[in-house]
Copies of this chain bind each other. A is one copy, B any other.
C-alpha cells in the first residue's frame, strides 16, 4: 500500500496512501450518485435510491451501499414493521464530512471537465 515513504526530505508526499484509500472508495461507479442523493435528503430507502439513480442494477446498488456502510460513511436503518419492510439509508457524520470535503473537487470538475474533454479530442475517439 505504501507508495512513497522514502526520500521524504523537504517535499510533501505527506500521505498519498490515505488519499488513495479514499479515492478507492469514492471512485466506485455509483458512490458519487449515492452521495449526491443522500446529501440532498435526511434519509432515503433502498427503493428511493434505486429509482433516483438511473442505470444502477439492484446488485450494484446493494454492493455500493454495503461497502459504504462497512466504511462507516452510510448508516443502514431497517424498518422492522409491516410486510412491505423498508430499509433506510442516510449519511453518517463521517459521510457528510467526506461529501463536504469532496465539494471542492466537485466544483473543479464541473468547471474544468469540458477543458479536459476538449484536450482529448485531437486523439480521435
A positions within 8 Å CB-CB of B? 3-7, 11-27, 29-30, 32-33, 36-37, 39-41, 52-56, 70-73, 94, 97-98, 101-110, 112-113, 115-117, 119-120, 123
Contacts and interface: CB of A to CB of B under 8 A. Distances in A.
Contacts of A115: 72, 94
Contacts of A71: 116, 119-120
A contacts with B: majority SS: helix
A107 to B, nearest CB: 7
A109 B15 contact: yes
Given A23-B27, A71-B120, A113-B21, A4 B36 contact: yes
Nearest to A10: B40
Given A37-B13, A70-B119, A105-B102, A26 B29 contact: no
A98 B98 CA distance: 18
Contacts of A123: 70
